Amino acid sequence: MEDKKEYQLVTSVNEGILEIIITGEVPMSAVDKLLNEVNAVGKAMNVGAELVDVRYAKGRFGFAESYFHVRDYPADSPIMKIAVVDLAENSDLQSFQETTAKNAGLSLKWFTDIDAARTWLKSK
């Protein structure tokens, strides 16, 4: 019997930015697998910026999951600017995610507007 994925990843490169759109259900049991897939795509594409659009995904990281994800960020992953695009209703996580990433040496910014995210990623 085939194992059905709960979520889907759609990837593309647009003006040097790796864009990853996550759709579908992301249960906590699938988070590690999803993060490994996102990291693998980032390594394979060899770009300097990544946009992760989670507006169409069902399920979100909480504070603890965000902290542990950043703490366990693979050392061999490329260092790049990362923009997360999410719905305004999830903005309670914005400051925590940005601060946690910064404390770990990552450049991550949270947006509700995809065009603003792209503009930030293209800036020096």
The length of the chain, given as a count of residues: 124
Residue 43 lies in a domain: yes
Residue 103 is predicted with a pLDDT of: 85
Q: What is the pLDDT of residue 74?
A: 67
Based on its alpha-carbon atoms, the radius of gyration of the chain, rounded to whole angstroms, reads: 14
- Specify the pTM: 0.86
Query: What digits encode the pLDDT tens for the residues 84-104?
Result: 999 999 888 888 889 988 888
Q: Report pLDDT for 69.
A: 67
Domain contains 2: no
Asked if residue 112 is part of any domain, the answer here is yes
Assigned domain for 15 exists? yes
Closest C-alpha to 51, from 90, 12, 82, 95: 82
Residue 107: give its domain's CATH number: 3.30.750.24
Structure tokens at 55: 């507006």
Q: How many separate domains does the chain show?
A: 1
The reply to whether 1 falls in a domain is no
DSSP calls for 29-74 = GGHHHHHHHHHHHHHHHT-SEEEEEEEEEE----HHHHHHHHHT--
Domain residues for the domain of 77 are 7-122
Q: What is the mean pLDDT of each run of 10 residues along the chain (124 residues)?
A: 74 94 89 85 89 90 70 73 94 88 88 97 91
